Structure 1
C-alpha cells in the first residue's frame, strides 16, 4: 500500500479476523485486534469444523499455516453417519484413505493456531467496542468500555452475529430461523459412554426426523459434542434449568430410540439453549469509506451451511490480499466487497435451504437423499 501505512483495527479475535491479521502481518502491515473477552480462555470456543479446500484451506495456505494445521487436524473426522429415530444406522460414509479433503479441527485448536501465529501484543483483550465516531475521510475514533480510544483508518468488523461494527453500515439484525439447538456433551466418551461413542462413530452422526433431531460430533480428546435441535418458538424453555430442560427434551422426543435418548439423559456438561439466527438474504450495504465486515458480522447463516468459519477465514484472507494489492484503503474495500457480497449471498441461500430441509416434516428422507447424492 502507498505511504503512510494505514492504521487498521480488527474488531473480534475470531478465526476470520485473526486470519486477516495474520495475512497483513506476514507482509509487514501493522494491525491491532480488539476483543471483548478478558483472555483467550474466557469462554468455550465451540465444536469441530471441517476445513474446505476453496475457503478455509485456502486461507490457511495463504497464512502460511497449512503444515501446522495438518499436524492438528483429524481426517477421520470427515465420516458422516445418518441414524433413524429407531436408532438404526441408515447411511454411513467413511472418508477415503487420508480423508476426502475436508479435515476436521476443533474450533479452540484452530483459534489457538491463529493466535500463536501473530506478533505478541497484537490482540488487546478486554476491549469491548462501545462506539465508533466518524472523523472524516474514512477515519474513525473507536471507543471501548474501559475508557480507551483509538483513531484508525480502517475498521474491520469481525465481531460475530451481534456485531456492533455492523451498525456503521447496515440496519440489518439477525432473525430467528425457527430452529433451536440445545447443546450438551460427553467426556471420555469411548470409556464412559461406549454406546453413544459407537453410535456417533469417528465423525458426525445425524438423526433427523419430523422437524427435530440430534447432531453429534466427535471432538479431540475423546469428547462428543451434541446438538439436540427442533423447530419451535424462539423462547422455548429459555431460562429453564437443567432438570426442566431435560424433561422438556424427553417430552419433545417421545417415541425415539432409547439409544438416542441417552444423548439427552447421560450428559456430562449440562444443557445450553441456543436459538439459531441468520441475517436477511442477501445482506448488503452501501460502500462506506473506512469500514467493512467479514464472517458472521457480514453473513450470519445457519450452521447447516457447513461454511460459517470457512467463509470467515476466506473473507479475512481476501481482505488482507486486497489491502496488499491496492494503493488505498478505499480501493481495497471496494475490491474486497465486490467479491464478498455475491459469494455471501450464494452461501446464505444454501444455508437457508439446508436448515429448512434438515428440520422439515420429512427431514429423514431429505437428509438421506442429500447424503446419498454428495457421498
Structure 2
C-alpha cells in the first residue's frame, strides 16, 4: 500500500473475521464493528461443513487450519435421505482418508470463537450497530453507530449479513422471501434422551423431503441435534392459522397436523423436541446481484450474495470472500485497486453459486422433491 488505509469491517461473522485475521498476520490493521454485546449474546446457529477449496483454504491462509481440524467433526459429513414413511433411502458415510480431503463439520459457535481468539485484543468493537455510512468524498466514509459514536474509514467492508446496512451504499437490492420457511427446534443430549431419533439422524445430516415439505436434522456438538421443519408456505402462515409462535404447544399441534400423514418416527422431530419453535423464513437476494464499483466500499458474504442454505456454500463462500479481499489488499498499491481486483472475482463466482442455490431450494421443496433429492444425493456421492 502507498498509504496505510483505515479499514472498517462491519460484522463479526466468519467472512469479516477471516479477512481481519489475514490482514493482521501481514501487518495491515482493520477494525471490526459488531452489534452484539457481548460476543456470546446470540446463538450462532448450527453446524458448517468446511470445503477444502474455500473454507479450509481461507483457514489455511489465516494460519488456523490445524486448529480447525483439531476441533472439527469428520463424522459429521454423513448424509442420509429418509422417505416420508421412515425408510432410509440413501446413506453416505464420510471418507476415512485425510479429513482435509473431505468437508469436516464444525459448530458455528466454535468456528467463531476460533477466529475471534486469533485476533489481537481490541480488534472487534462490540456493541457498535451501524445506522448509516456517510460519504465524505474521495472514497472516505463516516460511520454512524447507534448511541452517537462515529468513525471515519478509507475502506468500509460490508460483512453485515442479510439485512446489510453497508449494501445500501452500492445496491438497491433487498432480500426476497424464497417461499420456504423453516421452523427450528432441537433435541438435547439426543443419544441418551432420544435414542430412536438420534439413530435415525445418524452422525451428520438427515433429510426427509416430499411434497413441498420436509425435515432436516443436523448433528451439532455436545449431543445436540438441530431440527428444521420445512414448508413451502406463505410468509404469514402462522398468522393465517391464528398461531402465537411463543405458544409451544399450539405450534407443536399445528406442525403435527401439517405432517399428520408422515411416519410417526419423523413426527418425533416435532413432538419430542426439547426447545421451543423458532420461525425462520428463508430469504435470498435477486439473482444475479451485482453493483457498480463504488470507491471506498465493498461487500462480502451474505451482504453480497445472500442465498438459500441449499447451496451448501454460504459460510464457505463468505470465508473465501474474506481471504480473497485480504489477499487483494495486501498485493495492491491502493485500496481502490484492491477492491476492483476482488470484485472482478467475487461477482461472477457469487452469481454461479446463487443460481445453484435457487435451483436447490426449488427442487428440495417441490411436489416431487423426494425423487429429485434422492437423485441429487446419488449423483454427488
TM-score bin (small chain):
over 0.9
In the alignment, which residue of structure 2 is the partner of 1:364?
Answer: 370
In the alignment, which residue of structure 2 is the partner of 1:141?
Answer: 142
In the alignment, which residue of structure 1 is the partner of 2:227?
Answer: 226
Count of equivalent residues: 374
Q: Does 1:182 align with 2:187?
A: no
**Matched position secondary structure for 1:222:** coil
Q: Distance in 1 between matches of 2:290 and 2:62?
A: 27
Superposed CA RMSD = 0.8
Q: Which runs of 4+ in 1 moved over 6 A?
A: none
In the alignment, which residue of structure 2 is the partner of 1:342?
Answer: 348
In the alignment, which residue of structure 1 is the partner of 2:245?
Answer: 240
In the alignment, which residue of structure 2 is the partner of 1:267?
Answer: 273
Q: Does 1:215 align with 2:216?
A: yes
In the alignment, which residue of structure 2 is the partner of 1:57?
Answer: 56
Q: Distance in 1 between matches of 2:283 and 2:23?
A: 31
Residues 260-299 of structure 1: matches in 2 within 5 Å? 260-299=266-305
In the alignment, which residue of structure 2 is the partner of 1:206?
Answer: 207
Q: Distance in 2 between matches of 1:61 and 1:164?
A: 30
In the alignment, which residue of structure 2 is the partner of 1:2?
Answer: 2
- Give the deviation of 1:337 after TM superposition: 0.2
Q: Distance in 2 between matches of 1:282 and 1:244?
A: 40
- Give the deviation of 1:245 after TM superposition: 1.4
- Give the deviation of 1:251 after TM superposition: 1.3
Q: Distance in 1 between matches of 2:346 and 2:250?
A: 43
Q: Distance in 2 between matches of 1:339 and 1:162?
A: 23
- Give the deviation of 1:346 after TM superposition: 0.1
Q: Distance in 2 between matches of 1:305 and 1:240?
A: 28
- Give the deviation of 1:235 after TM superposition: 1.4
Q: Distance in 2 between matches of 1:262 and 1:338?
A: 48
1:187-214 deviation line (CA, Å, top 9, x unaligned): 1000000011000000000000001000
Unaligned runs of 5+ in 2: none
Q: Distance in 1 between matches of 2:33 and 2:107?
A: 23
1:67-125 deviation line (CA, Å, top 9, x unaligned): 00000001110000000101111111111214551000000000000000000000000
In the alignment, which residue of structure 2 is the partner of 1:77?
Answer: 76
Q: Does 1:28 align with 2:27?
A: yes
Q: Distance in 2 between matches of 1:253 and 1:270?
A: 18
**Matched position secondary structure for 1:254:** coil
Q: Distance in 2 between matches of 1:18 and 1:188?
A: 31
**Matched position secondary structure for 2:42:** coil
In the alignment, which residue of structure 2 is the partner of 1:170?
Answer: 171
* Contact in 1 for aligned 2:235/2:281 (Cα 8 Å): yes
Q: Distance in 2 between matches of 1:168 and 1:235?
A: 30
Unaligned runs of 5+ in 1: none
1:118-172 deviation line (CA, Å, top 9, x unaligned): 0000000000001111111000000100211101100000000000010011000
Q: Distance in 2 between matches of 1:121 and 1:240?
A: 39
* Contact in 1 for aligned 2:245/2:278 (Cα 8 Å): no
In the alignment, which residue of structure 2 is the partner of 1:16?
Answer: 15
